[in-house]
Structure 1
């Protein structure tokens, strides 16, 4: 896999290291990025189910009103 070098504020990285409980700046940033991606996938799954349910509701014929 290709590697990327990114310059970040040291205080920011130290805070992430403490919150993530890791001892390496590289590992800390990787944990944050992986978590961000996983959250995005979970959000997509939730919204996909909602969208699908809404579409199924729209397709069903409505009961006569009145």
Structure 2
């Protein structure tokens, strides 16, 4: 996989390292980015499952009130 080099504020990277409990700056930032992406995929999956009936037009009508 191709690599990309970026510059980040040192305080930001140290905070990421502390919060992630990872001693290597590269690994800490990579872990945070991977977690962010995974969170996005989980959110998409949850949202898609709720929106599926709206998207496909397969809405079930409410049950008639028996009373």
- TM-score, length basis structure 2: 0.81
Residues in 1 aligned to 2:13 and 2:58: alpha-carbon distance in whole angstroms: 46
Q: Which structure 1 residue ranges, 5 or more long, are not aligned?
A: none
1:56 maps onto 2:58 in alignment: yes
Alignment of 1:23-62 (within 5 A): 23-54=23-54, 55-57=57-59, 60=60
**CA deviation profile, 1:18-64 (whole Å, cap 9, x unmatched):** 0000000000110011001000100110011011133422xx45778
More helix per residue: 1 or 2?
1
Change (3 A) 1:18 1:61: closer
- TM-score, length basis structure 1: 0.82
RMSD, aligned α-carbons? 1.9
Residues in 2 aligned to 1:33 and 1:17: alpha-carbon distance in whole angstroms: 13
- Count of aligned positions: 62
